[in-house]
Structure 1
Amino acid sequence: MLEVATLDSDLYKALEPAVDEIATLKHVRNGFIEYAEDEDFRDGFTDYATRELDDIEASFKALYKYCTGQDGVPARLR
Structure 2
Amino acid sequence: MKKNGKKLLILGTALLVMFVIWTCLIQCVDVQSAGQKGTEIGFATFNCWFHRVTGVHMAIYTITDWLGLVPI
| TM-score interval, normalised by the smaller of the two chains | 0.3 to 0.5
Larger radius of gyration: 2
- The structure whose residues are more often strand, as a share, is 2
TM-score calculated relative to the size of structure 1: 0.37
Structure with a larger share of its residues in helix: 1
TM-score by length of 2: 0.39
Q: Which has the higher relative contact order, 1 or 2, with Cα contacts under 8 A spaced 6 or more apart?
A: 1
